[in-house]
Amino acid sequence: MALAQKRKLVIDARMVGSVPHGIARYVSLIARTFERSLSELPVEPWYLIDFGRNPQPDSRSFPKERCIAVKAPFLSVRELWEVPKLLKREGASWFWSPSFSSYLGLPCPWMVTVHDLNHLYFGSLFQKLYYRFLLKPFCLQAARVLTVSEFSRGELANWLGLSRDQIAIVPNAIDPDFVTASVVSLSEAPQKGYFLCLGSPKPHKNVRVLLEAYCSLRASQAALGVDVPELVLSGVRSAVDLRLPQAFDEGVRFMPSIPENELKSWIAGAIAMVFPSTYEGFGLPPVEAAALGTPVIVSDISAHREGLRSVAREVFWFQADSRSALQAQMMACLKNDEPPHLSLEKVREDWSIEKLHQQVREVLKESAEVRG
């Protein structure tokens, strides 16, 4: 099918930038599934790009000839009128918002991916109002509502008053380049291994409990007969960000972010990935760690159980609200002479880009049939 004969699907890719956060990586992988099989798709994908945030988009995912420049920053008031205007100008047949960015109305049918409801539970008053008065109506008027996991599908169905069948799953995936890329030398990495956490100061990331557990473990290391390695904490500047005394900085290496080209090396070099969230829609970092064979110490929540289902017996689980349980599992990991043998291929198969591609194709096919 020639591209000129296809319906024009415009995808919002403005959140993609230099920092590889979850939604940005999700959008990039979806775009790559489009570009690897254009001839099989019933649509022609185009991408809204914020060139200030992403001056040189990856041409594999975002071909220059199908990028549409947007001046309105992601989640700004300006996008409420600029994006609809652009869609009309470009003759869009479909629009896909792959995040919680929402509009009062659009000149074409739309799909929206809601990854989770964390802002509704843990966000500011503005975020909660945004979810209630903008995101919710936008979802209920959408031609298709999507999410990333069975857990989030249940959450969304309850919130929107829809059946589970009315919400499709287009899941996260492990970037194949992430698995196959070479491990690079890290001049800043600790010499004897380290615990690694990819977090943020947001309450549901639960990093405060991790710092408390880690500080307690370091204070007891002589009595316990272990050497507690450094904790590398990405996404947090200092303990003060978490309203903890500066004493909690001891033994912790705070990093604002980890560059995307170094992420695999930091994960591969860790004694364990620690991911203490109280709430996630999916939770990709521990899945990626497991796919590399790095031990995982992770909170026992539904999304993590779903993501790590293939290696559940080899994971160090703990109750998210228990500092002592987390400390015990970090200790167990240190004392384990033989790290758990993670079934790498099973994890990679569960969350392969091929499965993501299949789900995208099915959603597009079903949507095209509904719209004729």
State the pLDDT at residue 272.
95
pLDDT at position 246 over 80? no
Q: What would the mean pLDDT of 210-237 be, rounded to a whole number? A: 89
Q: What would the mean pLDDT of 278-297 be, rounded to a whole number? A: 94
State the pLDDT at residue 250.
85
pLDDT tens digits along 100-151: 899 999 999 999 999 999 999 999 999 999 999 999 999 999 999 999 999 9
Domain layout of the chain by residue ranges: 3-173+352-371, 178-350
pLDDT at position 185 over 90? no
The CATH class given to the 3-173+352-371 domain equals: alpha beta
State the pLDDT at residue 341.
67
State the pLDDT at residue 302.
96
State the pLDDT at residue 340.
64
If one counts every other C-beta atom within 10 angstroms of the C-beta of residue 13, the result is: 29
Considering only 77-86, 146-155, 240-249, 291-300, which range has the smallest mean pLDDT? 240-249
How far are the Cα atoms of 46, 97, 101, 102 from residue 73, in angstroms, in the given order? 18, 14, 11, 13
pLDDT at position 182 over 90? no
Q: Which two tokens stand for residue 290?
A: 């497991």
Q: What would the mean pLDDT of 149-174 be, rounded to a whole number? A: 95
φ, ψ of residue 160 in degrees (nearest 5): -90, -10
State the pLDDT at residue 2.
46
pLDDT at position 337 over 80? no
State the pLDDT at residue 299.
98
Domain 3-173+352-371 identical in fold to domain 178-350:
yes
* Alpha carbon distance 306, 284 (integer Å): 11
* Alpha carbon distance 372, 123 (integer Å): 39
pLDDT at position 37 over 80? no
pLDDT at position 370 over 60? no
- Mean pLDDT of the chain, nearest integer: 89
Q: Which is nearest to 350 in space by CA: 284, 264, 269? A: 284
Q: What would the mean pLDDT of 232-240 be, rounded to a whole number? A: 89
How far are the Cα atoms of 74, 77, 99 from residue 80, in angstroms, in the given order? 10, 6, 15
Share of the chain above pLDDT 90, in %: 59
Q: Selecting from 2.50.20.10, 3.40.50.2000, 1.20.1070.10, 3.40.50.1000, what CATH number does the domain 178-350 have?
A: 3.40.50.2000
